[in-house]
Amino acid sequence: MLNYIRAELYKLAHRKGYWIFLGVVLALESLLVLGFYMANASGGRLCFEDCVLSVVPQALSFGGYFAIVAGEMVFAGQYKNGTLKNEVAFGLPRWRIYLGKLIVQLTASVLMCLVMVGYYVIACRLATPEAGNAPVMLLLGKSLLAALPVWVGVQGMICACCFLIRGEAAHTIAAVGLYWGLPNLLYFVGILFYRYPAGKWMIEVSEWMPANMLTDTNRYLQEGFAPWLGWMCLVGGVWLAVSTALGLWRFRRKEIN
Residue type at 12? Answer: L
In sign, the C-alpha dihedral spanning 220, 221, 224, 230 is positive
- Tell me what the mean pLDDT of segment 182-191 comes to: 89
pLDDT digits (tens, 9 = 90+) for 89-137: 777 888 888 999 999 999 989 899 999 999 999 999 998 887 776 788 8
Residue 91, by phi and psi: left (phi above 0), alpha (psi -120 to 50) or beta? left
Task: Decide: pTM greater than 0.75.
Answer: yes
Q: Where are the domains of the chain?
A: 2-251
Which residues, in sequence order, are CB contacts of 105 under 8 Å at separation 6+? 67, 70, 71, 74, 75, 155, 158, 159
